[in-house]
Amino acid sequence: MSGAGVSEVTVRVPMNIALVKYWGKRDEQLILPLNDSISLTVDKLTAETTVRMIQGVGENTVEINGRRVELSSNKRYQTVFDEALRLQRKRKEDSNQNETECISHHFEVISKTNFPVAAGLASSAAGFAAIGRAIQKILNLNDTQANRLARIGSGSACRSMFGGLVHWKKGEKEDGSDCVAVRADSENWKDLYCIILVFDDERKKVGSSEGMRRTRETSTLLKHRIESVVPERIEQVKKAYESRNFQDLARVIMADSNQFHAVCLDSVPPIRYLNESSWRLIEVVEKFNQQEVKAAYTFDAGPNACVIVQKDDVPAFIKAALQDISIPSEDLKSVEEDLNVSFEGPLNSSILCSKLIVSPMGGGPADS
């Protein structure tokens, strides 16, 4: 873990997907959200990240998938490193360590995601969660401190720090000290899987920071969502998850995804993340659920779908999706091998999914 003046930790942290969505910041600098959100990790999509904390003056460096990140235009990394050093100093002061001289440190981060960063799958959340967790280990920080590191890097990153159902509480305090993500279940529901369908899009996307700002400033519905709808839904998700009630869970997940996109549409000018393919997928899920609710779609700030099902329903859902959506055959093959099933197709369909990923959920991060 450490050499001469070098501490090094490698962790693997999955991305996460919100079941009740985060949209809108009450503090842009500290990345404090306007409302609570609740999520599960997508265990197969990870960022494996090595953080080196090196004694002495030097340039901080970050490399993602072999490419150097320009830190002058990505201020968030510096914010996280500064906070890490502040926490280190604070701990030394608290423990009355007799080091009055200030020892300089700098950081090297090397991160590899096992999914394309460009696919719009919240890679930065996984990356910052990994950095937060690695620094936690290096500096022996508590969960709240690690949470804060991840959060000030990329808001929802703080939800990737645990397995099981994770509840990111917005908190009330101005300094963000009560804004933390915590586990909200007594035991992980291992039966939950997600099927991610990547739908490409040529449109220029409204980035989530810009989108959140626009919605907060212009939507006349957002306030009501935050005050009256979200708190109830958080409780509904917890209850459904704890009692393993898939149908109730699925209903809240879909309603909240739709409401998030509704407040985007209620913004000025309107923000649109769902495209024709997303809507086609919604129809596939509606049809699949006709007899019984067995799948729940959820969409973040982009057209890609995340469909949550119980493990046994994965093959049936993919089979249903293939009626309307073309899925790359190598991805189908990989699912066939993983789950020991076989699909027909892909059929000819006008809706193209460029990548299909099937993953268990809720496993949380792992040291490696």
List b or e across 165-195, with b for residues whose CB sees 16 or more CB atoms inside 10 angstroms: bbbbbbbeeeebeebbbbbbbeebbeebbbb
HSE value, Cβ hemisphere, 13 Å, CA-based, for 240: 19
- Contact status: 217 vs its own copies (CB under 8 A): no
- Contact status: 337 vs its own copies (CB under 8 A): no
Which residues, 6 or more positions from 261, have their beta carbon under 8 angstroms from its beta carbon? 272, 273, 274, 299
- Contact status: 137 vs its own copies (CB under 8 A): no
The encoded tokens of residue 38 equal: 């609740």
Report the distance separating Cα 77 and Cα 57, nearest Å.
17
- Contact status: 266 vs its own copies (CB under 8 A): yes
Q: Which stretch binds its own copies (CB under 8 A): 42-50, 115-123, 125-133, 257-265?
A: 257-265
**Backbone phi, then psi, for 341, in 5-degree steps?**
-130, 175
Q: Give the residue with the Cβ less far from its own copies, 74 or 279.
A: 279
- Contact status: 245 vs its own copies (CB under 8 A): no
Q: Which stretch binds its own copies (CB under 8 A): 55-63, 108-116, 255-263, 332-340?
A: 255-263
Closest approach of its own copies to the CB of residue 29, in Å:
29
The encoded tokens of residue 315 equal: 């093959």
- Contact status: 251 vs its own copies (CB under 8 A): yes
Which residues, 6 or more positions from 248, have their beta carbon under 8 angstroms from its beta carbon? 236, 239, 240
Q: Which stretch binds its own copies (CB under 8 A): 19-27, 86-94, 107-115, 259-267?
A: 259-267
Binding residue count for its own copies, defined by CB under 8 A: 27
Burial of 67 (0-12, 13-18, 19+ CB in 10 A): exposed
Write each residue from 272 to 301 as x if it is in contact with its own copies (CB under 8 A), else as -, in one continuous string. x--xx--x--x---x---------------
Alpha-carbon distances of 61 from 52, 71, 80, 106, 318, rounded to whole Å: 10, 8, 13, 9, 41
- Contact status: 263 vs its own copies (CB under 8 A): yes
Q: Which stretch binds its own copies (CB under 8 A): 23-31, 114-122, 266-274, 341-349?
A: 266-274
Q: Give the residue with the Cβ less far from its own copies, 183 or 238.
A: 238
Among positions 10, 60, 258, 349, the unique one binding its own copies when judged by CB under 8 A: 258
Q: Which residues bind its own copies (CB under 8 A)?
A: 218, 220-221, 224-225, 228-229, 251, 254-255, 258-259, 261-263, 265-270, 272, 275-276, 279, 282, 286
